[in-house]
Amino acid sequence: MIPTRRCIPKLLRSSLFKLSLLDRISGSASYLIQPYREKKDDSSSNLSSIFQPVPIKSNPDDINVGAELAGTLRKADLLKILNKFLQQREIKALALEYGLDDYLQQQAYTSFRCYCLETKSLPVDLHVVISDILQGAGHVADIFPYFIRHAKQMFPHIECLDDLKKISDLRSPANWYPVARAKTRKIVFHAGPTNSGKTYHALERFMTAKSGVYCGPLKLLATEVFQKTNERGVPCDLVTGEERKFANDRLNPANHVSSTVEMVNVNQPYEVAVIDEIQLMRDQGRGWAWTRALLGLPADEIHLCGEAGAIDLVNSLCTTTGEDVEVRRYKRLTELQVENTALCSLSNVQPGDCIVCFSKNDIYTVSRGIEAQGTEVAVIYGSLPPGTKLAQAAKFNDVNNPCKVLVATDAIGMGLNLHIRRIIFYSLIKPTVNEKGEKEMDTISVSSALQIAGRAGRYGTQWEKGFVTTFKPEDLNTLKNLLTQAPEPITQAGLHPTADQIELYAYHLPNSPLSNLMDIFVSLCTVDDSLYFMCNIEDFKFLADMIQHVPLPLRARYVFCCAPINKKMPFVCTMFLKFARQYSQNDALTFSWLCQNIGWPLTAPKTILDLVHLEAVFDVLDIYLWLSYRFMDLFPDSNIVRDMQRELDAVIQDGIFRLTSLLKNSETGVSSGAAAAPDEDNFQLHTQKQHYYRGIKKDSGANVVGRGRLTERLLAQGLLTPNMLQELRREWTNAKNGDDHSNTDSSPTKIRRKRKP
Ligand SMILES: Nc1ncnc2c1ncn2[C@@H]1O[C@H](COP(=O)(O)OP(=O)(O)OP(=O)(O)O)[C@@H](O)[C@H]1O
Ligand SMILES: [Mg+2]
């Protein structure tokens, strides 16, 4: 026989969950649940919307003990009681005290009601309380503790908001680096325009020091300094995300190290540290790395090189560290003249010219236009492998090489030694990512106009005097205007949450996805915005979302999400996900696994899409190397991967050399290397095998009209999306219809200009 409610143990009836609302309000009873008290502001509901509710599972008990103790509850009665409870004003006020604003209350109420009505057996204590209320032996407010228990499971942050805020208090980043703070460092700022010898002078000091570190913005620059330093007879190691090179060997590190700024070790003391391009502290994505180096490097002397626009901010930051800044100003070593006429036609191109474009499409259009006149071009853009970039630069710089025209993106703004006589801006519009992570088409900044234009006329080369102009006459005044201005002063330096901070967050909110933790962090963090800003975390979140479903320990997940990935490349993203999955299964990512997944060996590109794919594969290998330094055991084949990269670099170089014929092939529909029937190679076999296993053959729309084998392959590989395909078709059709590419580009007149200088 089921016992009646009279038999309910006293202990259970008097449990702390059965305290009445009056007890609570009068404070006559002590209870464990401390209400959260915090200033509320207008943005609280915005903030609340960031907290994703944790799904609450219903009670798994088979036996409904509550019903056995207190009798079965009718759903209609239960609903009546719950509705009455939810309508109580006092309940709302109390819930607010616990940190549940209207937004959270609404979600918690709905969830609580569903939970109570849908669960097979209510928790016994709640069952008893409701039963008491129904029998007139209790008040609806007695449900509150159960409701708040439910709400806390849904929104665990309401119990630890103060802790979270403390963890994300970023108001004094200078204090994060006790080793540097224990010193009074000498800070020297080498300020001046491009080509004024800033880096030269800082490096002179670096090389004569007993120990030193160089922090550069790019792998290419770090490598150049590594080579130069060793050539001067000063042993120097190289540390980049994907590479380590040792002047001696890994067990005997040299006293000097050249590194990319993200990789610098802020626990290692040096005599001299050089931080190049310090103005990049303002970079929305990477700025945090310069801030960290400036505040954190425990060197006796810190030499900063960069735009004068960063002096004030550096001064202010150094006030927080209690250090003086010595500013050394430099003037341009060579003359730079803005021409009075635009280029107007590619037929006016001269030896020593570099045409700067801001999209790959323009690069293709321009290089094809120039080559059509029988002039050979060198091509440089960001996604080319370093070897290809260096080879193209060497070809262009070589006085004995007939190739005297360069077509490049703003990738040439930094890091490459180029002998340019004249810079020609093909357009002044560049896609940028704003603070919200949104893409915008915008006129280039004063700083980048100066940086790029400044590449013309390099000290010590055959073109000591530089010239600059635009392709379109209507852009010339804008350019002149940009170049007469001083670079925009930099007002804030970037910051980024550390792995430790995010780990602490995860400890408090164990059920929140990593990307949500980042959002919460950014929303709760306090930053001294007179000096700092929080860097854009969109790329990090993009990767976090992509691998959220892959089971990984938090540290590993965090590291994976820090990988430098171009999220615009679907193939790279797919491979990244596969890396994460393989890692999660504790399976080594071996050479043969990699070959299978990237379709190695690859053939020479026949079309532009082939080339783009090879560039993506190169990036995938880069990510492999990057991860291999963080997870050595599961990424064991870095040496072979480096060899693969070298081979691939050569294949891409060859593709760039034949760029015009690749463009022609793309337009005339010549199929890619993989589709070339006579030499059906491993690449195709591998790819087919992959297709087969992935069931792509079945799903990839074989009956879609107009899709050739190349298209199928690219679609199947995720390299091409249906939208991209449509876009390409449009472009090909336009090209076939005889569009004069030399006079069109992603025409600025068609694009919204956000800011006019
Ligand atoms: N005093 C010097 N003696 C010899 N070569 C010099 C001297 N100063 C600068 N150079 C050379 O001039 C070129 C430009 O100098 P450097 O790279 O230091 O300029 P920068 O101001 O850092 O410009 P950027 O904005 O390109 O970084 C380099 O090739 C450098 O080696
Ligand atoms: Mg420099």
What's the CA gap between 283 and 301, in Å, rounded? 24
pLDDT in tens, 177-201: 999 999 999 999 999 999 999 999 9
Confidence band of 671 (pLDDT split at 50, 70, 90): low
Mean pLDDT (whole number) for 159-188: 92
Question: Domain containing 660 — which CATH number?
Answer: 1.20.58.1080
Q: Is residue 375 part of a domain?
A: yes
Q: Going by C-beta distance under 8 Å and a sequence separation of 6 or more, which residues neighbour residue 29?
A: 16, 19, 23
Higher pLDDT, 566 or 620: 620
Atom of ligand 1 nearest to the CA of 414: 26
Q: What's the 642 CA to ligand 2 centre distance in angstroms?
A: 28
Same domain, 261 and 322: yes
Cα-Cα end-to-end distance for the chain: 86
Same domain, 105 and 183: no
Judged against a pLDDT cut of 60, whether residue 696 lies above it is answered with no
Q: What's the 260 CA to ligand 2 centre distance in angstroms?
A: 14
Question: Domain containing 282 — which CATH number?
Answer: 3.40.50.300
Residue 3: cis peptide before it, omega within 30 degrees of 0: no
Ligand nearest to the CA of 196: 1
Residue 197 near ligand 1, beta carbon < 6 Å? yes
Our mutation pick for probing the ligand 1 site, out of 189, 194, 195, counting the most ligand atoms within 8 A of Cβ, is 195
User: What is the helix (H) or strand (E) element at residue 186, kind and residue range?
Assistant: strand 186-191
Atom of ligand 1 nearest to the CA of 197: 18
Q: Is residue 535 part of a domain?
A: no
Ligand nearest to the CA of 192: 1
Judged against a pLDDT cut of 60, whether residue 714 lies above it is answered with no
Same domain, 92 and 229: no
What is the pLDDT at residue 197? 94
Containing domain of residue 711, as a range? Answer: 690-737
What is the pLDDT at residue 720? 55
Judged against a pLDDT cut of 80, whether residue 558 lies above it is answered with yes
Confidence band of 333 (pLDDT split at 50, 70, 90): very high
Confidence band of 345 (pLDDT split at 50, 70, 90): very high
Of 527, 526, 509, the closest CA to residue 517 belongs to 509
Atom of ligand 1 nearest to the CA of 192: 21
CB 731 within 8 A of CB 739: no
Ligand nearest to the CA of 190: 1
Kindly write down the DSSP assignment for every residue of 297-322, as one continuous string: --EEEEEEEE-GGGHHHHHHHHHHHT
Q: What's the 41 CA to ligand 1 centre distance in angstroms?
A: 53
Give the residue from 462, 483, 504 where a domain finishes.
483
SS3 call for 537: coil
Same domain, 433 and 572: no
Q: What's the 404 CA to ligand 2 centre distance in angstroms?
A: 24
Higher pLDDT, 723 or 635: 635
What is the pLDDT at residue 173? 94
pLDDT in tens, 367-402: 999 999 999 999 999 889 988 999 999 999 999 999
Q: What's the 8 CA to ligand 1 centre distance in angstroms?
A: 87
Q: What's the 646 CA to ligand 2 centre distance in angstroms?
A: 28
Atom of ligand 1 nearest to the CA of 451: 25
Residue 195 near ligand 1, beta carbon < 6 Å? yes
What is the pLDDT at residue 62? 65
Judged against a pLDDT cut of 60, whether residue 6 lies above it is answered with no
Q: For 121-135, 331-345, 688-702, which range has the lowest pLDDT when averaged over its residues?
A: 688-702
Q: Is residue 61 part of a domain?
A: yes
What's the CA gap between 318 and 180, in Å, rounded? 12
What is the pLDDT at residue 60? 65
Same domain, 279 and 365: no
pLDDT in tens, 229-243: 999 999 999 999 999
Return the residue matching tokens 């341009």: 332
Judged against a pLDDT cut of 60, whether residue 680 lies above it is answered with no
Residue 367 near ligand 1, beta carbon < 6 Å? no
Residue 59 near ligand 1, beta carbon < 6 Å? no
Same domain, 226 and 150: no
Same domain, 253 and 138: no
Q: Is residue 287 part of a domain?
A: yes
Same domain, 273 and 399: no
What's the CA gap between 278 and 318, in Å, rounded? 13
Q: What's the 179 CA to ligand 2 centre distance in angstroms?
A: 28
CB 303 within 8 A of CB 205: yes
Residue 200 near ligand 1, beta carbon < 6 Å? yes
What is the pLDDT at residue 498? 85
Cα dihedral 19, 23, 24, 26 in deg (nearest 10): 180
What's the CA gap between 244 and 660, in Å, rounded? 36
Report the percent of the chain where pLDDT is more than 90. Answer: 55
What is the pLDDT at residue 709? 44
Residue 732 near ligand 1, beta carbon < 6 Å? no
Residue 190 near ligand 1, beta carbon < 6 Å? no
What is the pLDDT at residue 732? 52
Q: For 38-42, 201-205, 209-213, 252-256, which range has the lowest pLDDT when averaged over its residues?
A: 38-42
Q: For 85-89, 747-751, 753-757, which range has the lowest pLDDT when averaged over its residues?
A: 747-751
Of 680, 681, 693, 590, the closest CA to residue 644 belongs to 590
Q: Is residue 104 part of a domain?
A: yes
Atom of ligand 1 nearest to the CA of 305: 22
What is the pLDDT at residue 7? 34
What is the pLDDT at residue 436? 64
Judged against a pLDDT cut of 90, whether residue 721 lies above it is answered with no
Confidence band of 546 (pLDDT split at 50, 70, 90): very high
Same domain, 665 and 713: no
Give the residue from 468, 483, 498 where a domain finishes.
483
Q: What's the 277 CA to ligand 2 centre distance in angstroms?
A: 7
Residue 305 near ligand 1, beta carbon < 6 Å? yes
Residue 199 near ligand 1, beta carbon < 6 Å? yes
Confidence band of 729 (pLDDT split at 50, 70, 90): low
Atom of ligand 1 nearest to the CA of 455: 26
Atom of ligand 1 nearest to the CA of 190: 21
pLDDT in tens, 102-160: 888 899 999 999 888 888 888 888 888 888 898 888 888 999 999 999 998 888 888 88
Residue 194 near ligand 1, beta carbon < 6 Å? yes
Confidence band of 218 (pLDDT split at 50, 70, 90): very high
Report the percent of the chain where pLDDT is more than 70. Answer: 81
How many domains is the chain partitioned into structurally? 5
Q: What's the 267 CA to ligand 1 centre distance in angstroms?
A: 30
Instruction: Provide the 8-state DSSP code for 708.
Output: -
Residue 192 near ligand 1, beta carbon < 6 Å? yes
pLDDT in tens, 419-471: 999 999 999 998 776 666 677 888 999 999 999 999 999 888 888 899 999 99
User: What is the helix (H) or strand (E) element at residue 13, kind and residue range?
Assistant: helix 10-13
Nearest CA to ligand 1 atom 16: 197
Atom of ligand 1 nearest to the CA of 458: 13
Residue 198 near ligand 1, beta carbon < 6 Å? yes
Same domain, 475 and 582: no
Q: Is residue 418 part of a domain?
A: yes
Higher pLDDT, 372 or 49: 372
Judged against a pLDDT cut of 70, whether residue 78 lies above it is answered with yes
Q: Around Cβ 586, how many Cβ atoms within 10 Å?
A: 8
SS3 call for 270: strand
Kindly write down the DSSP assignment for every residue of 592-604, as one continuous string: HHHHHHHTSS-PP
SS3 call for 288: helix
SS3 call for 399: coil
Q: What's the 283 CA to ligand 2 centre distance in angstroms?
A: 17
Q: What number of CA atoms fall less than 13 Å from residue 532's CA on the CB side?
A: 24
Residue 478 near ligand 1, beta carbon < 6 Å? no
Same domain, 375 and 440: yes
Our mutation pick for probing the ligand 1 site, out of 228, 459, 463, 464, counting the most ligand atoms within 8 A of Cβ, is 459
Q: What's the 268 CA to ligand 2 centre distance in angstroms?
A: 24
Judged against a pLDDT cut of 50, whether residue 631 lies above it is answered with yes
Q: Is residue 524 part of a domain?
A: no
Give the residue from 104, 129, 155 where a domain finishes.
155
What's the CA gap between 257 and 274, in Å, rounded? 10
Residue 457 near ligand 1, beta carbon < 6 Å? no
Q: Is residue 623 part of a domain?
A: yes
Q: What's the 424 CA to ligand 2 centre distance in angstroms?
A: 21
Confidence band of 40 (pLDDT split at 50, 70, 90): very low
Q: Where are the alpha helices (DSSP H) in 136-218?
A: 144-154, 161-167, 178-181, 198-208
Q: For 154-168, 501-515, 731-745, which range has the lowest pLDDT when averaged over its residues?
A: 731-745
Same domain, 137 and 218: no
Residue 489 near ligand 1, beta carbon < 6 Å? no
Q: For 38-42, 132-136, 515-519, 611-615, which range has the lowest pLDDT when averaged over its residues?
A: 38-42
Mean pLDDT (whole number) for 632-658: 93
